[in-house]
Every structure is written in C-alpha cells, then in structure tokens.
Structure 1
Amino acid sequence: MARRTRTTRTTKTRPDPPDLPSSYDPATGPPEAGDLWDGVEAGPDVLFPEHVADLRLHECRFSGVDLAGRTLSGLHCRDTEFHRCDFSGAVLDDAVFTRVTFTDCRFTGTELNGAGLNDVRISGCRADLARFRMAKGAFLHVEDTSLRGADLYRFTAQDCAFLRCDLGEASLEDARLAGTDLHGSTVDDLRGPLALRGCRIGPDQLVPVGALLLAALGVEITDRR
C-alpha cells in the first residue's frame, strides 16, 4: 500500500505583509470621492482635501503625506504601506485595513472607531489619545508605539499583540483581548484591567498587572489589626 505523505501546516504567528508591486505610478493630484488608487506612490507634495468619501487604496505607498485632521469616510485600504505620515486628529471611522503597515506615523487623537484592522503592523508610531472604540483587530501587531490615554472600549482582538508599547491610562472597558500578547508594554494606570483576562504578559509585568487587578476587584492590602 502506498503511504500517505503527511503535510505540515505552518501556524501563523504574525501579520501577513503587504503584497506590493515592483514599481508605482506617481499620484497625479488629490483624490476625489469614490476614487480607486491602485499601485500609486504619494509623497509630501500630495495635498488631501478636508473630506474624501469612499476612497480605495490598493497596493500603494504613502511617504510623508499629511492627513492630519482629514475625514476619510468609507476608506478601504489593502496591501499598502504608510511611512512617516501624519494622521493626527483624522477621522477614519469604520475604515477597513488589510495587509497594511504603518511605520513612524503619528496617530495622536485619531478616530478609528469601528475600524477593521486585519494583518496590520503599526511600528514606532505615536497614537496617544487615539480612539479604537468597537474596532476589531485580527493579527494586528503594534510595536514600540505610545498609546497613552487611548480608548479601546469594546475593542475585539484576535491573535493581536501590543509589544513594548506605552498603554498608560488607556481604557480597555469591555474589550475582548483574550490571547493578546502584551510583553514589554507599560500598563501603569490602565483603565478596565479586567479586560486583560486571557492575555499574555512577561514576568516583569506581574507586579503592575497584579496591582491593577487587585484594585479592580476591590481587594485591600492592609496591616493586620
């Protein structure tokens, strides 16, 4: 009898990278509502209008683009990389990102409520006070990024990681984070610490996480009377 060949299935542990083209077309001007940018490279000279609806970005590269304060409603973005872009105060509610990287970008006060972040890597960014309320992440990896005061109310995570991030004063109320890796991240003064149920932490995080959980459970540490 012929023997069956046993196939080995590789377990996915990190986001899939963007599938990028070998060359790009230069952006010819600001985008308009409903535009599809496919294989486009945009730099600091590309000026975005205050509001763009239903923009689709496929296999693009953005470098140094100023998107601060812009409203990009209905944004769909896949296989795209952003480098040193400014999203401060931008409204990206319900945006969908698939196989996207953000490197050295600014997200201070950015609105990402209800967004879908699938196979997304955020590295070396500032996202203080960013809002991810009711957003969903699958293989979202955030590394070396400041998220102080960020709002992750009812954020749903699947195979996500926040590595070496500053999560001080971030809100995790009603978030679902089971299986999320938090190694190396600062969790001091975290709000909603009971959402950490099922997360993975390192030995150096035992004390701050333990203190947060005890406080959330109303446990008092006192001298014996």
Structure 2
Amino acid sequence: MARRSRSTKTQPDPPDLPPRFDAAPGPPADGDLWDGVEAGPGIVFPEHVADLRLHECRIRGVDLSGRSLGGLHCRDTEFVNCDLSGAQLDDTVFQRVTFTDCRLTGTELNGAGLTDVRISGCRADLVRLRMAKGTFLHVEDTTLRGADLYRFTASGCAFLRCDLGEASIEDARLAGTDLHGSGVDDLRGPLALQGCRIGPEQLVSVGALMLAAMGVQITER
C-alpha cells in the first residue's frame, strides 16, 4: 500500500478562538486565568502582574506599555492595536498568538518561547529577543530597526518585508529562516545568516555584509 504524503508545515497555526467572548472581569491580578475573555481599551492593567494566563482571548486596543508581566502564558490569543512598548515580557510563553497593528518598541522578550506566532504590521524597533526561541514565528511588514536577537534560535521562522536595519543577530541560529523582502542595512553579526533564504534583490546588500564580516577588503590594485 502506498503511503500518503504528509504536507510540510510552512505557516504558523492560527489561534483557536471561541465563537464569542466573555467580557473582561476587570484588571487582572497575579495568577489570574482569563479563558475566552475579550478586553478592550477600558481595561487598565496594573504596572506589575505575575503569572497571568490568557487562553483563547482577544486583547484589543489595550495599553500595556511599560507593564511588567512576569510569567505570562498566552495560548490561542490575539492582540490587536495594543501598545506593548517597553513592556517586560521576559521568559513568557506564547503559543498560537497573533500581534496585529501593535506597538512593540523596546519590548523585552528575552528568553521567551514563541511557537506559532504571527506579528504583522507592527512597530517593533529595539525589541529584545535575546536567547529567545521561535518555532514558526512569522514577522511580516514590521519595522525591527535596532532589534536585539543575540543567540535567538529559529525553527521554521520568517521575517518578510521587514526593516532589520542595525539589528543584532550575533550568535543567532537562523538556518532555514526566510528573509525575503526585508532590509538588512548595517545588520550586526551577519555571519549568523548562514543557511537563511533571501531574494535576488537582497544579494548585493547581504554579500557586502558578509564580505565585511570576513574582513575582505575591496581596493584598487
């Protein structure tokens, strides 16, 4: 009997959201579980919330800027038009989560685990993903100038049509990552691009970065 071929996964799995949501019960407290909840701009998060769990939630237009959310666990959740600039989200866990039209400038995601996460149309300059792990993390049409991906580990990831100018990828493991349409001007640590996929129009800029990183000098004879 011939074996059926299994399709190879190429995209993040989307959040599994309920057909309707309950209203947010109020500002979250340490250790709270929100399950099937929708929160809007009227919900004010405290400056510090520990071990919050968001399962099958929609967070829309909420100001999370500068908040410290240690131990945050998000599953099957979407963030839309939220401000997470400067938020402390180190070591958080995201599984089947989307960020759409959000502000992630300077967001701290060091050591985070991001599985089946899509970030689209966002502003994420100076975002920090040091020693984070992305599994089917797809970032699209997003600015990441000056982002810090030191020792970031990627599997099935993509940065499509993004601005990665002056971002740092020192010691990152990016083999197999798709970078089509993304700007890489002044990218730091370009040797970590080994095994990535780029488009023909990126060949000159990536080639120049690699030659400079290897100390190759182009001079007149």
TM-score normalised according to structure 1 size: 0.97
User: Partner residue of 2:190?
Assistant: 193
CA distance in 2, matches of 1:151, 1:183: 20
CA distance in 1, matches of 2:67, 2:105: 13
Q: Which amino acid aligns with 2:100?
A: T
Q: Which amino acid aligns with 1:41?
A: E
**Deviation per residue, 1:173-217 (Å, 9 max, x gap):** 000000000000000000000000000000000000000000000
Counterpart selection for 2:78 from 76, 81, 101: 81
CA distance in 2, matches of 1:29, 1:6: 53
User: Partner residue of 1:139?
Assistant: 136
Of structures 1 and 2, the larger Rg is shown by 1
Q: Which amino acid aligns with 1:211?
A: A
- How far is the alpha carbon of 1:7 from its aligned partner? 1.8
Q: Which amino acid aligns with 2:95?
A: T
> Any idea what SS the aligned residue of 2:69 has?
strand
Is residue 2:218 matched to residue 1:221? yes
Is residue 2:63 matched to residue 1:69? no
Is residue 2:24 matched to residue 1:24? no
Q: Which amino acid aligns with 1:103?
A: T
User: Partner residue of 1:14?
Assistant: 11
**Deviation per residue, 1:8-53 (Å, 9 max, x gap):** 2111000000000000000020000000000000000000000000
User: Partner residue of 1:181?
Assistant: 178
Counterpart selection for 1:111 from 108, 111, 124: 108
Q: Which amino acid aligns with 1:62?
A: I
Which runs of 5 or more residues in structure 1 are unaligned?
Answer: none
CA distance in 1, matches of 2:75, 2:33: 11
- How far is the alpha carbon of 1:6 from its aligned partner? 2.9
CA distance in 2, matches of 1:77, 1:191: 31
Counterpart selection for 2:98 from 97, 101, 106: 101
CA distance in 2, matches of 1:140, 1:110: 16
Is residue 2:202 matched to residue 1:205? yes
Counterpart selection for 1:55 from 46, 52, 55: 52
> Any idea what SS the aligned residue of 1:52 has?
coil
**Deviation per residue, 1:124-170 (Å, 9 max, x gap):** 00000010000000000000000000000000000100000000000
Which runs of 5 or more residues in structure 2 are unaligned?
Answer: none
> Any idea what SS the aligned residue of 1:209 has?
helix
> Any idea what SS the aligned residue of 1:87 has?
coil
User: Partner residue of 1:44?
Assistant: 41
CA distance in 1, matches of 2:128, 2:3: 46
Q: Give the alignment's Cα RMSD to 1 decimal.
A: 0.6
- How far is the alpha carbon of 1:82 from its aligned partner? 0.6
* Greater than 2 Å deviation, 4+ residue runs: none
User: Partner residue of 2:146?
Assistant: 149
CA distance in 2, matches of 1:153, 1:53: 26
> Any idea what SS the aligned residue of 2:49 has?
strand
Q: Which amino acid aligns with 1:45?
A: G
- How far is the alpha carbon of 1:5 from its aligned partner? 5.2
TM-score normalised according to structure 2 size: 0.99
**Percent identity of paired positions between Structure 1 and Structure 2:** 80
